[in-house]
Structure 1
Amino acid sequence: NVVEPDSMEMIYAMAVEKLAQIEVPERAHFVRSIYLELARVGSHLFGLWAYANMLGFDTVAQWAMYHRDLILDLFEELTGGRVYHIYIWPGGVRRDFPPGFKDKIVNTLHSIGGCVPDYDSTFFNNRLFYERANGIGKISQEQAKQWGATGQTLRATGMKFDIRKVEPYAAYSKVDWDVPVREDGDAYSRVWVIRDEMIESVHMIFKLLDAMPEGPVYNRIPNPFKWKVPKGDAYVRCESSRGELGLYMVSNGGDKPYRAHFRTPSYPNGLIILEKLLKNASIADVGNIMISLYVVAPEIDR
């Protein structure tokens, strides 16, 4: 997933840690959560760019891409890469935050958060957005569960389901935060959930930064080039920016997985739900429905 590959890093590390019974330092849990929430904000800004661009809100699209670039600037400083970061690995993270990095996170998020009223007045509260998205691609909560929807697609039907809450990992149980939902299950509700989640992620990052303890960020593995993972299998899951991301990993006692199978949120959204919603839909609504379902094609490929 080129839009948000960081959750892939997370579940791979979680699977190896579960198989090898590796303990992750407490500070690393917080660093991971902050890193993943920054990735979520960046991913949602990319989704907002795509949706606003599709509807012809060019100014909003440019704002979203600019603010996403601010997030990528942070990733580049921390990891050396703007898109693929290779930051989370078994046992913790590759490096701690450099001096002054926490202040840069705060300043960046204040810059983005300060523009929320502009996004609201120009796009989210705009009647044209309402008229183009309200009632489009509507699904019920029962349909969402039956078709395997997770993430914004499910929460837009009113169901408060988020892996970070129901099966906490990293440091998500260490701070208070809420799961944003909407009720109508249409494109309008799905895009609003994305907006609300960005704001919630920003608030969560501030809380995580305040609560983050001192200490190491990596439980060093002796001679990783010769390290073997014990035989066994493990299933882990996390809440990626698009919904539930799962990984089933099998180890035969070697230095690489014998089997790794991913459960991606775009698979049900792009193959099952999209097909059902496009039947008898207007051609003008195809992009509207597809982008609001947050489909990323590489997650579907097998």
Structure 2
Amino acid sequence: MNFDSYTLTKIAKKDRATVYDLFFGPNHPGMHGNFGYVFEMIGTEISNVRPNAGHLHRGFEKIMEQRPWLHNITLVPRICVMDPDPNEVAYCMAIEKIMGVEIPERAKYLRTITLEMSRLTAFLIGIGGAGASLGLYTIMYWTMADRDKILDMFEWITGGRVYHIYNIPGGVRRDAPEGFFEKLSDVLDYLESRLPEYDRLLFENPIIHKRLKGMGYVSKEDAARTGLSGPNLKASGNPYDVRKDTPYAAYPYLDFDVITQEGGDALARVMQVRMEYEQSINIIRQCIKQIPEGEVRLNLGNLNMLKVPEGEAYAKVESSKGEFGYYVVSKGEPKPYRVSVRGPSLPAGFLWAQKHLPTMKIDDVAAWMSAFGICPPDFDK
């Protein structure tokens, strides 16, 4: 006799021998990074979740306290590989606050441009992952190929495709090369032209709506209470965005609104990313149009020998995942005394995993993770 999944689950609850462990990640294609969940399964239903942070990309905060100020800029992008530049900027901003310096205007625009470029690359991974986690691999192939066009631009201006090491205390390493803004404008036009195809294939797909609607619901109040930020917070109706609420870099000079959704579920979070993706294109265009001439960094001497005066500061930026903040303490030595990183993935990846995943079917886990935009290296800094 054939039993459906629900019937098998009811039988399994009466028989302890049918409860088994299932390892979801890090080798599972639906898991991002060296992280995993250990699920206790009854049939195809999850009954308990045990997060396992793994051993790769861990202990950043203590490592940073053993390294010179400048050398940490090569380390911090690894805290979120998919969207690395916000870590560089937040760390540099904290140092600049302690030193009491303000970077040149042109450097502010260059930081903003690269931040939004990084945001676009992360959103493309998120859009593709949303489809692939539900079996729609075509959108993933499209977005990863389109992402390469932005990586080409990163390679041109910074020399690196994934880790850019472009921001330094006092500004940025170098100015944009000749012709960069013209080529970047062409890339933005191309990316915008692709949106109707993304919409037809993914965002207007009735199967995607049916699978994601109602999944992982978070109310407006719970989203704020549990520390969600970024698209996850705004998808529950909270209009908080560090770029607006605590402006930095060139954001005070730009015209954009905080986009929100009201659904609070996985579908709303995916749609939030779609809307913010288009907004980032418009922000970069404004920067290209408004960027002033001038210096791109302050003369702070030999940065390899940089000594930051005694003090402490907290600096935060709006990444594609939400608020990334760096609390930095200096004792006037060649290296930080203390660094603490506030990442946006922890509430979703740990707290909401415990709330949402039990009673969920295993085939929905990858879609749940993708909609939350979880970045595992952020868990155990």
Inter-partner Cα distance in structure 2 for 1:68 and 1:177: 23
Report the alpha carbon displacement of residue 224 of structure 1 after superposing the two structures with TM. Answer: 2.6
What amino acid sits opposite 2:363 in the alignment? A
> Does structure 2 retain, via aligned residues, the 8 Å contact 1:274–1:289?
no
1:166 to 222, 226, 245: 245
Inter-partner Cα distance in structure 1 for 2:134 and 2:351: 24
Report the alpha carbon displacement of residue 5 of structure 1 after superposing the two structures with TM. Answer: 1.0
What amino acid sits opposite 2:325 in the alignment? G
Inter-partner Cα distance in structure 1 for 2:89 and 2:284: 17
1:265 to 327, 344, 367: 344
1:237 to 305, 316, 331: 316
Inter-partner Cα distance in structure 2 for 1:224 and 1:156: 41
Inter-partner Cα distance in structure 2 for 1:269 and 1:89: 30
1:120 to 193, 199, 207: 199
2:90 to 3, 11, 34: 11
Aligned ranges 1:1-302 → 2 under 5 Å? 1-302=80-381
Inter-partner Cα distance in structure 2 for 1:59 and 1:224: 46
Inter-partner Cα distance in structure 2 for 1:117 and 1:226: 51
TM-score w.r.t. structure 1 length? Answer: 0.98
Bigger Rg over Cα: 2
What amino acid sits opposite 1:163 in the alignment? V
When the two chains are superposed, the root-mean-square deviation of aligned CA atoms in Å is 0.9
Q: Secondary structure at the match of 1:55?
A: coil
Number of aligned residues: 302
Q: Which runs of 4+ in 1 moved over 3 A?
A: none
Q: Secondary structure at the match of 1:279?
A: coil
Identity among equivalent positions (%) equals 43
Q: Secondary structure at the match of 1:150?
A: coil
Inter-partner Cα distance in structure 1 for 2:301 and 2:110: 22
Report the alpha carbon displacement of residue 143 of structure 1 after superposing the two structures with TM. Answer: 0.9
Structure 1 residue ranges without an equivalent (≥5): none
Report the alpha carbon displacement of residue 56 of structure 1 after superposing the two structures with TM. Answer: 1.4
Structure 2 residue ranges without an equivalent (≥5): 1-79
Inter-partner Cα distance in structure 2 for 1:242 and 1:215: 32
> Does structure 2 retain, via aligned residues, the 8 Å contact 1:15–1:234?
yes
TM-score w.r.t. structure 2 length? Answer: 0.78
Report the alpha carbon displacement of residue 21 of structure 1 after superposing the two structures with TM. Answer: 1.1
Inter-partner Cα distance in structure 2 for 1:44 and 1:226: 37
Inter-partner Cα distance in structure 2 for 1:268 and 1:223: 39
What amino acid sits opposite 2:314 in the alignment? Y
Q: Secondary structure at the match of 2:253?
A: coil
Inter-partner Cα distance in structure 2 for 1:66 and 1:185: 30
Deviations 1:129-188 (A, max 9, x none): 100111111110111111111011110011111000000000001010122211010000
Q: Which moved more, 1:45-54 or 1:88-97?
A: 45-54
Report the alpha carbon displacement of residue 227 of structure 1 after superposing the two structures with TM. Answer: 2.8
Report the alpha carbon displacement of residue 220 of structure 1 after superposing the two structures with TM. Answer: 1.5
